[in-house]
Amino acid sequence: MASLGAMLSLSDINADGLEDVKQTCHVKCLTAVVDVGDSKACAEVVSATVKQLGRLDFVFNCAGVNPTAYDLTETTDDYYDKLMNTNVKGTYSITRAAIPHLPPGSAIVNVSSVMGVTAAAQYAIYCATKFAIVGFTKAMAMELGPKQVRVNAVAPGYINTPSNAGVVAGAEEVAEQEKKVALGRFGTAGEVADVVAFLFSDDSRYMSGSVVEITGGRI
């Protein structure tokens, strides 16, 4: 987004990570440390964004907690709450706060996952959150369409990020996961960002309620 000249308002629970990203963005860039599970904090950061930048054209809901493989009987309420509060409530709270400020022609992109369109054993809670994002996206597309606000989602597969379960597990696990990808490699965050930029652009002006899979051809 910065490379396309957009002013940015970035929020994350990780202050150091925020600062690192800000240093790579050579545009006006606001930052705020926010727990998206806190609806009041979400409302405050949206309000501050509009006040300081003057407008709000696009919303990218990408806060999320990566999954851990658990049999359902081994999960805890704390684990359930952590995933639901970040993956689902965060998307809901930011979107709710943003809607009054979005002009016609604006757009929202939410991050689901390949596990929001297919399921996997031992990932029931994570799948539930990502399926919820798909349903939320489609419902909001219907609700905001008359206001000419588009809402879409991306569903990434294996992406090379520090918190990816395979990356955390090590090179051997990465190699095993790459065998499940037709292109034979993990995707990059930049390749996901390219799709998000497309969904924000006028090139996708007739897309709303869509879920775009970014998987490299998941086998």
pLDDT score of 62: 96
Alpha helices (runs of H) in 71-186, residue ranges in sequence order: 77-83, 90-98, 124-144, 165-169, 171-178
Which homologous superfamily is 56-214 in? NAD(P)-binding Rossmann-like Domain (3.40.50.720)
pTM of the predicted model as reported, rounded to 2 decimal places? 0.94
Tokens at residue 85, please?
């509060």
C-alpha 130/C-alpha 83 separation (Å) is 10
Q: Which stretches does DSSP call E strand in the chain? A: 8-12, 29-33, 58-61, 107-111, 150-156, 211-214
pLDDT, tens digit, 9 for 90 and up, residues 102-113 = 999 999 999 999
Q: In the 8-state DSSP scheme, what is residue 159?
A: B
Query: What residues does each domain of the chain span?
Result: 56-214
Q: Are 142 and 209 in contact (CB under 8 A)?
A: yes
pLDDT above 70 covers a percentage of the chain that reads 96
Tokens at residue 73, please?
């009987």
Does residue 171 surpass a pLDDT of 90?
no
Confidence of residue 168 (pLDDT cuts 50, 70, 90): low
Catalytically active residues are 126
Side chain identity at 91, as an amino acid letter?
T
pLDDT, tens digit, 9 for 90 and up, residues 36-95 = 999 999 999 999 999 999 999 999 999 999 888 999 999 999 999 999 999 999 999 999
The average pLDDT across 207-214 equals 99
Does residue 13 surpass a pLDDT of 80?
yes
Q: Which long-range contacts (CB under 8 A, 24 or more apart) does 70-74 make?
A: 70/122, 70/125, 71/122, 72/124, 72/125
Question: Sign of torsion, CA 216 23 36 170?
Answer: positive
